[in-house]
Amino acid sequence: MGGDGNLLRVLCSRRTLLSPRENGLRWLIGAPLFLPSFNVVSSFRCIHYLHGDPCSPDFTHEADDIRTLLIRGFDIVGALLINDGDLEFNARKAAEASCMIRNYLSVNAEHQYVIGAAADLSSDTIQFFKYEMENFKHVESLRTILFETNPEKLVWEKGCLIRCELALKVPIYAPEKITSDMEDLCSSLTDLTIAELKDPSAAFLVERPTVNSDETSASIVLHGSDLDFGRSISENLSSTNNQKEPDIKDLACFQFCSKNQSFSFPSAQENADVIRVTMLSNRSRNIIKAGAPVAKYFPAEPASCAYANFMLDVLCYSSKQCSVASAISKLVVPGLIDQLITMKDAISPHLLTQHPQLKTYHFLPPGILHPITAIYDLRYGENEVGQRELRRSLHSRLGLSLDRPLLRIANALSFDTEADNLMRIGYPYLKNVHTQIPVSGVFEGIVSLVDGSYQYYHYLLDGMDDNGWGCAYRSLQTIISWFRLQHYTSIGVPSHREIQQALVDIGDKEPSFVGSREWIGAIELGFVLDKLLGVSCKIMNLRSGAELPEKCRELAMHFESQGTPVMIGGGVLAYTLLGVDYNEANGDCAFLILDPHYTGNDDIKKIVNGGWCGWKKAVDSKGRSFFLKDKFYNLLLPQRPYMV
């Protein structure tokens, strides 16, 4: 793409590039073929080093990881080295490392420059340089650095995603007495399959997803002979821009994108267009049927047979101006080949045993503008040690917190519109009601809020008449919904009866308690969270509601460090606390209360205007106390599990 050759656009924050502040390399990720000028969209930490030297990457292991993780359309465009010493010298070492990793990844160098950047451990300053890949003596300092304020729009307004799924079942025959050749046979058949992906008789169905009911679907079939694996993407961009009546193979991606797309922050990534590509079995252009290429080998003597199952799922990023044929030949097919080889290498040593059950998932972690891809082995479940360590490694590489489940299967992106609709039907409750309320009125206060999404459970919900006795049950349901929506658990939000049964099961209540209308309090809620979710809780005891303002600093620390909703129980009433607004200088404070005593329908305006979710002062302007002075209060502070 064109643009000022000395302007560098950085689409991630300086803090993201430098965090964590420790010696080592950061691979700079960009989309030089599709975005204007030099650009850095994100960064991946280098985590494999030779002999622990932060200046000596283990390029083989790094390339293997990044080949899976980074979706096609994004490339390594440079590197940042955080280390003491001369910044320009370190920047050159970073640029040389980026060229080396690009060679390992076989990046098609349609651009001639790489970015070398350097920072030291004690400063927030980053110096960027531009190097010719063939001549590291030719260096220019990039002094015009633009940190974009709306990077989501830049990436997704003119870009789209292309997804291709392909199921392969490859039969592998080997002489019964010579099983040592299985890996070689698997490699040979993989090579045959790769050849079929590029075969002129291969066919690809390209479809536009139906996002809105008023849009008609669009689809074409491209054949292998329509693709040009030697032509560069930049040449295809030129052809789609210049032709008034393009041939079918020159149709651009934007012709398969939604015409009514919105790109308002923070949902631009989630609203991105996704073009679906399906590979068809097509031995004759007159007969097309869905299927995958099949590689076969028939032995001439008694042989054992093993099947290698490959469930390929490739996601790519492309400019909407790029031709679909170019995107398939330069992004989709190479992505399928990379993923096939990666899976083959994992499966082939175990063909005669229980080989890995590999499945591909795509994620959009917080703070990263583009999806990433991970391949998980499903044989032993998500909590198996190897899977936990893989997720921990991915968290480390992406700079994600090590105490939050951001890359579990439940976090994976869903591209099925019908499934998404079914999910919405299954979760009809109001979410995140507090985002609609005005400010608290505390002058120069610091607001600390619940971190993440929750659902609002209140009286009479789900046809359950619990008016007058079920407020603590409803607060517990809201808390458990938070753990569900943050993917700490997959269990359903329990009913009143299931909550009661859990207390009976642990011996806290008699069997007659099940089905009763007896109240429960903070202590019982803690028992249930431990029983059903394995979540531990802290209990804060107060002799009077008048003491709550004294605990505001401690509650603020809870929301900053744990971020979970808090249950407040006093007398016969229970509330859910979602945050505090606290002025440490003068002690003024307000409490963000979600009230489970609401009995109306789920009308957000009615809830907010009626004060069922809102900021409450311990004593309001008329001298009325929200928290009762003559009642004991217990606050339940659930602790966020430390897990990935």
Res 263: pLDDT: 42
CA torsion angle 252 258 260 262 (round to 10): -90
- How many CB atoms neighbour CB 149 within 10 A? 8
- Counted residue by residue, the chain has a size of 644
Instruction: Please classify residue 467 by burial: count the beta carbons closer than 10 Å to its beta carbon, then call 0-12 exposed, 13-18 middle and 19+ buried.
Output: exposed
What distance lies between CA 467 and its chain's CA centroid?
40
One of 61, 111, 350, 597 is an active-site residue; which one?
A: 597
* Mean pLDDT per 10-residue interval, the chain, length 644 residues: 70 88 94 85 96 91 96 96 93 94 81 88 89 77 84 90 90 63 77 89 86 66 86 61 67 84 48 86 47 53 72 95 94 95 85 79 93 92 85 95 88 67 52 91 93 95 95 98 90 95 97 96 96 95 93 96 95 94 93 97 94 92 87 95 87
Note whether 109 and 133 are within 8 A (CB). yes
What H or E segment, with its residue span, contains residue 189?
helix 182-197
CA–CA separation, 420 and 52 (whole Å): 45
Note whether 533 and 488 are within 8 A (CB). yes
Instruction: Please classify residue 353 by burial: count the beta carbons closer than 10 Å to its beta carbon, then call 0-12 exposed, 13-18 middle and 19+ buried.
Output: exposed
Res 222: pLDDT: 93
CA–CA separation, 358 and 346 (whole Å): 9
- Which residue matches tokens 């804060």? 540
Question: Could you give the C-alpha distances from 415 to 263, 271, 418, 512, in angstroms and in order?
Answer: 18, 11, 9, 47
Question: Long-range CB contacts (< 8 A, 24+ apart) of 182-188?
Answer: 182/306, 182/348, 182/351, 182/352, 183/348, 183/349, 183/351, 185/297, 186/308, 186/344, 186/347, 186/348, 186/351, 187/344, 187/348, 188/297
Bond before 494 cis per omega within 30 degrees: no
Known active-site residue 199: no
Question: Could you give the C-alpha distances from 305 to 179, 187, 189, 356, 552, in angstroms and in order?
Answer: 10, 15, 13, 17, 68
- How many CB atoms neighbour CB 98 within 10 A? 28
Note whether 351 and 185 are within 8 A (CB). no
For 314, phi then psi, to 5°, come to -110, 135
Res 421: pLDDT: 34
Whose CA is closest to 174, among 347, 353, 350, 297?
A: 297
Res 145: pLDDT: 87
Note whether 507 and 610 are within 8 A (CB). no
Which 3 state secondary structure label does DSSP give 411? helix
| pTM summary value | 0.80
Known active-site residue 75: no
One of 471, 537, 552, 613 is an active-site residue; which one?
A: 471
What H or E segment, with its residue span, contains residue 317?
strand 303-319
Name the residue type at position 28: L
Which 3 state secondary structure label does DSSP give 446? strand
Res 351: pLDDT: 66
C-alpha torsion sign, points 597, 598, 604, 607? negative
Known active-site residue 12: no
Instruction: Please classify residue 288 by burial: count the beta carbons closer than 10 Å to its beta carbon, then call 0-12 exposed, 13-18 middle and 19+ buried.
Output: middle
One of 75, 273, 588, 595 is an active-site residue; which one?
A: 595
Note whether 413 and 362 are within 8 A (CB). yes
Helix axes 385-398, 59-69, angle to 10 degrees: 90
Task: Name beta bridge partners: 614.
Answer: 593
Task: Name beta bridge partners: 7.
Answer: 144
CA–CA separation, 556 and 560 (whole Å): 6
CA–CA separation, 539 and 465 (whole Å): 29
Task: Name beta bridge partners: 206.
Answer: 220, 277
CA–CA separation, 480 and 596 (whole Å): 14
